[in-house]
Amino acid sequence: MSDWLKVFAPATVANVGPGYDVLGLALDSPGDWVEAMRTEQRGVQIVEITGDDGRLPRVAALNCAGVSARLVQEKIDPAAGVALKVHKGMPIGSGLGSSSASSVAAAWATNLALGGALSKVDVLDACRAGEKLATGAPHADNVLPSLIGGITLIRSYEPFDYLELPTPLELRFAIVSPELEIKTADARKILPERVPMEDVVRNLGNVAALVAALYEGRLDLFGRALDDFVVVPYRSRLIQRYDDVHAAAMDAGALGCSISGSGPAMFAACTEETAEVVAAALVDGFQRSGIGAKSFIAGINTRGVRLVDEVE
Q: Is the dihedral of CA 69, 70, 71, 74 positive or negative?
A: positive
Q: Which of 12, 110, 131, 135 is catalytic?
A: 131
Q: Which amino acid belongs to residue 150? A: G
Q: Which of 17, 70, 124, 141 binds ligand HSE (CB under 6 A)?
A: 141
Question: Residue 289 and residue 179: Cα distance in Å, rounded?
Answer: 12
Question: Residue 121 and residue 108: Cα distance in Å, rounded?
Answer: 10
Q: Does 241 bind ligand HSE (CB under 6 A)?
A: no
Q: Does 260 bind ligand HSE (CB under 6 A)?
A: no
Q: Which of residues 183-222 bind ligand HSE (CB under 6 A)?
A: 184, 187-188
135 catalytic residue (yes or no):
no
Q: Does 262 bind ligand HSE (CB under 6 A)?
A: yes
Question: Residue 123 and residue 119: Cα distance in Å, rounded?
Answer: 7
Question: Residue 143 and residue 233: Cα distance in Å, rounded?
Answer: 25
Q: Which amino acid belongs to residue 128? A: R
274 catalytic residue (yes or no):
no
Bridge-based pairing state of the strands 293-298 and 306-310? unpaired
Q: Does 88 bind ligand HSE (CB under 6 A)?
A: no
Residues in contact with ligand HSE, shown as a per-residue x/- string from 142 to 181 under the rule CB under 6 A: x---------------------------------------
Nearer to ligand HSE, 252 or 269 (CB): 269
Angle between helices 98-113 and 124-135 (to 10 degrees): 140
Q: Is 285 left (phi over 0), alpha (psi -120 to 50) or beta?
A: alpha
CB of 193 to ligand HSE, least distance (A): 15
How many residues form the binding site for ligand HSE (CB under 6 A)? 13
**Part of the chain binding ligand HSE (CB under 6 A), chosen from 12-20, 29-37, 148-156, 247-255:** 12-20
Task: List residues with catalytic annotation.
Answer: 131, 184
Enumerate binding residues for ligand HSE (CB under 6 A): 14-15, 20-21, 135, 139, 141-142, 184, 187-188, 261-262
